[in-house]
């Protein structure tokens, strides 16, 4: 392909992505962007970069490269959302270009069409339009760089040195002299094309991709599958160079799984599926994503959470179908080629981390999410576009032009769908309303939308959404929100009723205990408040200074000023900047002195 044509088509991909994602570029911040970026205190600390890389618990997840990019961007444009969205969109466009380049290196036809299909596919919107999912856009970009570098490493490692012509010319009329045999001299190779550099670049790119999101751990397995597809076999020479890649991927993947269980707390009844249940879930997850990639309609930020029961026979159908397809592709690999089996292995491999075998916090409200399928969309695009392009190659020019026109229509439709889906991310309220329109049974959407309404003082609508959430699912957080609305209405007894209902659901919930104690303090029921604060302090609390301060207030209400002062001091130890505790301490000590006179 000529350089001008290559540049023009690359520019077309970039312009198409910018046009399709224009609503995302104009969007604000949505769910989880606060804990990752806008309200992440780590990003404002002088030792931010050190904490990001050395303290796994500094932020919500240990993806230090993502938080490093956020830190850099915050220095450049503060919290103006356009810059963060632009970087995500450009990374997505860059991944599409790298996908095209990689498919060309694999000598596959239709790489440009595959890149366009990936670039405009609506399932990618969630990863691109949601700032928090910088994890996906950055990780895939670096993963594709790693794959390109490694494939180049394989090519240069196998290339034979090209000999150069040697021998002195003979003068005109002179007697020819016998030439001495000289050793062939290899043509000089630029340092950036040497195997050692390419191997190191591939390993570095993969490591950085893992520090963006550990789903990149599948990259070495993807490379092995592609090597098998090309050659029909794998031997030790193929596996040994990839061992460091596997080690890095497996190590960081297990760290993420441990972090989800221990720090993010993805454990408990909601994650208690049996092994057979997880096998059933895996088949359903695979079928779901394949269906959404084939027909990307009714996309939602949060999908309904399925009821998984391995004892129900029909729930096994997706798993049985997937295994049957895999078996059939293996049996027919010599007759129809290794392509179908390769596609199934690659799709299953990249979706595997999200199939349910590992606990992920998002499984609390849904087993599937569009951003879990971002890498799979790239493979799907190649699996659709490249075989079609190869099949069209022997056809007449007129038929190829007609097929190209049809493909352009498909791209236009996908671009419109992506544009429409991107509008859902305009702001948090728009996102929750859009999600509820697609998934009315989303209890968490009602809760989050209600919280947004409550923060803006729209208490009546917020209360309605919290009640709708409670009808769908009894949840302590919903009871706490209902109590908060009543507290803001200054209906403290009604607030206490909701909190008592929360404690019937979870008798030792520390936040419910602390909030009920606060209501009882405001109602003058100091004895009850003291007991509840003391019970709450038996557990781990995120804002323990509030519990100490509340206990001090209840003790002061009983006239026990010295004991109250001790609690206010503990609050200040936990949070030295909490001025209400300092004011309460001074007041308690003053009242104690007055009582002594």
* Tokens, residue 400: 């190829």
Q: Tell me which residue of 234, 233, 206 sits closest to 148, measured CA to CA.
A: 206
Place of tokens 């230090």: 64
* Tokens, residue 288: 């779901």
Residue 253, number of CB atoms within 10 A of its CB: 18
Q: Decide if pLDDT at 263 tops 80.
A: no
Residue 529 near residue 520 (C-beta atoms within 8 A): yes
Assign residue 298 a region (left: φ > 0; alpha: ψ between -120 and 50; beta: otherwise). left
178 confidence band (pLDDT: 50, 70, 90): low
Higher pLDDT, 325 or 175: 325
What pLDDT does 310 receive?
92
Q: What is the pLDDT of residues 493-536, one digit of tens each?
A: 899 999 999 999 988 888 899 999 998 898 888 999 999 999 88
Q: Decide if pLDDT at 162 tops 60.
A: no
Q: Decide if pLDDT at 255 tops 90.
A: no
Q: Which of 16-30, 54-68, 129-143, 334-348 has the lowest mean pLDDT?
A: 54-68
What pLDDT does 179 receive?
57
What pLDDT does 186 receive?
56
* Tokens, residue 578: 């909490």
Q: How far apart are CA 506 and CA 240, in angstroms?
A: 52
Q: Decide if pLDDT at 191 tops 80.
A: no
Q: How far apart are CA 596 and CA 33, in angstroms?
A: 53
The share of the chain scoring above pLDDT 70, in percent, equals 93
Count, residues in the chain: 597
Q: Decide if pLDDT at 587 tops 70.
A: yes
Q: Decide if pLDDT at 294 tops 80.
A: yes
What pLDDT does 166 receive?
46
Q: Decide if pLDDT at 492 tops 50.
A: yes
What pLDDT does 173 receive?
45
Place of tokens 């002061």: 556
pTM, full prediction: 0.86
What pLDDT does 183 receive?
59
Q: How far apart are CA 134 and CA 61, in angstroms?
A: 13
What pLDDT does 169 receive?
46
What pLDDT does 266 receive?
61
Cα dihedral 301, 307, 311, 314 sign: negative
What pLDDT does 523 receive?
83
Max mean pLDDT among 57-66, 97-106, 586-595 falls in 97-106
Q: Tell me which residue of 535, 56, 35, 505 sits closest to 269, measured CA to CA.
A: 505
Residue 567, number of CB atoms within 10 A of its CB: 26
Q: What is the pLDDT of residues 416-454, one digit of tens each?
A: 999 999 999 999 999 999 999 999 999 999 999 999 999
267 confidence band (pLDDT: 50, 70, 90): low
What pLDDT does 77 receive?
94
202 confidence band (pLDDT: 50, 70, 90): very high
Q: Decide if pLDDT at 170 tops 60.
A: no
Q: Decide if pLDDT at 174 tops 50.
A: no
What pLDDT does 265 receive?
59
CA angle 84, 416, 433 (to 5 degrees): 65
177 confidence band (pLDDT: 50, 70, 90): low
Give the chain's domains with CATH numbers.
3-158+192-425 (no CATH), 441-507 (1.25.40.10), 509-597 (1.25.40.10)
Q: What is the pLDDT of residues 28-52, one digit of tens each?
A: 999 889 999 999 999 999 999 999 9
**Which 3-state string (H, E, C) describes 217-279?**
HHHHHHHHHHHHHHHCCCCHHHHHHHHHHHHHHHHHHHHHHHHHHHCCCCCCHHHCCCHHHHH
Q: What is the overall mean pLDDT for the chain?
A: 89
What pLDDT does 427 receive?
93
Q: Give me the DSSP letters along 271-306.
A: G---HHHHHHHHHHHHHHHHHHHHS--S--SSPPPP
What pLDDT does 1 receive?
67
Q: What is the pLDDT of residues 534-578, one digit of tens each?
A: 988 888 777 888 999 999 999 999 889 889 999 999 999 988 888
Q: Tell me which residue of 412, 389, 403 sits closest to 114, measured CA to CA.
A: 389
Query: DSSP label at 161?
Result: P
Q: How far apart are CA 579 and CA 583, in angstroms?
A: 6
* Tokens, residue 465: 């959404």
The share of the chain scoring above pLDDT 90, in percent, equals 66
Q: Decide if pLDDT at 172 tops 50.
A: no
Higher pLDDT, 13 or 159: 13
Q: What is the pLDDT of residues 336-375, one digit of tens each?
A: 999 999 999 999 999 998 898 887 778 888 999 999 999 9
């Amino acid at each position: 392909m000529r350089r001008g044509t290559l540049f023009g088509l690359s520019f077309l991909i970039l312009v198409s992505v910018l046009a399709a994602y224009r609503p995302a570029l104009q969007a604000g911040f949505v769910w989880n962007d606060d804990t990752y970026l806008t309200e992440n205190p780590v990003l404002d600390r002088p030792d931010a970069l050190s904490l990001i890389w050395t303290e796994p618990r500094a932020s919500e997840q240990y993806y230090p490269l993502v938080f490093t990019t956020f830190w850099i961007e915050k220095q450049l444009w503060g919290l103006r959302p356009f810059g963060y969205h632009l970087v995500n969109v450009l990374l997505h466009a860059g991944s599409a270009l790298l996908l095209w380049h990689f498919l060309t290196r694999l000598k596959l036809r239709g790489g440009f069409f595959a890149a366009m299909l990936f670039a405009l596919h609506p399932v990618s919107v969630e990863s691109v339009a949601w700032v928090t999912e910088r994890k996906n856009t950055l990780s895939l970009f670096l993963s594709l760089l790693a794959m390109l570098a490694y494939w180049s490493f394989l090519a240069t490692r196998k290339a034979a040195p090209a000999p150069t012509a040697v021998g002195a010319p003979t003068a005109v009329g002179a007697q020819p002299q016998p030439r001495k045999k000289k050793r062939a001299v290899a043509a000089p190779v630029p340092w950036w094309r040497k195997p050692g550099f390419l191997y190191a670049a591939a390993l570095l790119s993969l490591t950085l991709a893992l520090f963006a999101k550990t789903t990149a751990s599948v990259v070495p397995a993807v490379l092995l599958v592609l090597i098998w597809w090309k050659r029909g076999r794998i031997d030790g020479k193929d596996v040994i160079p990839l061992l460091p890649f596997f080690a890095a991927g497996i190590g960081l993947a297990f760290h993420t799984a441990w972090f989800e269980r221990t720090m993010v707390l993805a454990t408990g009844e909601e994650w208690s599926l049996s092994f057979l249940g997880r096998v059933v879930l895996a088949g359903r997850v695979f079928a779901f994503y394949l269906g959404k990639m084939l027909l990307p309609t009714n996309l939602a930020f949060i999908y309904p959470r399925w009821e998984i029961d391995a004892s129900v026979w029909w729930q096994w159908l997706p798993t049985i179908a997937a295994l049957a397809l895999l078996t059939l592709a293996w049996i027919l690999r010599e007759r129809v080629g290794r392509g179908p089996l390769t596609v199934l292995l690659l799709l299953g491999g990249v979706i595997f981390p999200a199939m349910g075998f590992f606990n992920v916090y998002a499984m609390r409200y849904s087993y599937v999410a569009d951003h879990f399928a971002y890498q799979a969309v790239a493979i799907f695009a190649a699996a659709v576009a490249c075989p079609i392009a190869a099949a069209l190659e022997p056809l007449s020019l007129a038929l190829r032009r007609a097929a190209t026109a049809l493909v352009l229509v498909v791209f236009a439709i996908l671009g419109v769908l992506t544009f429409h889906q991107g509008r859902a991310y305009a702001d948090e309220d728009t996102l929750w309303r859009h999600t509820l329109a697609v998934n009315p049974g989303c209890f968490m959407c009602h809760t989050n939308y209600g919280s947004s309404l409550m923060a803006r003082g729209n208490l009546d609508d917020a209360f309605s959404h919290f009640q709708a959430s409670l009808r769908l699912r009894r949840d302590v957080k919903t009871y706490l929100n209902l109590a908060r609305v009543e507290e803001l209405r200054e209906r403290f007894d009604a607030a206490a009723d909701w909190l008592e209902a929360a404690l019937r659901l979870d008798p030792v919930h520390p936040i419910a205990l602390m909030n009920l104690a606060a209501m009882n303090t405001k109602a003058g029921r100091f004895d009850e408040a003291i007991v509840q604060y003391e019970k709450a302090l038996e557990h781990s609390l995120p804002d323990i200074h509030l519990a100490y301060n509340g206990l001090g207030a209840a003790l002061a209400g009983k006239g026990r000023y010295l004991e109250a002062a001790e609690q206010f001091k503990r609050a200040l130890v936990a949070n030295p900047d909490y001025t209400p505790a300092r004011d309460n301490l001074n007041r308690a000590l003053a009242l104690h002195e007055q009582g002594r006179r």
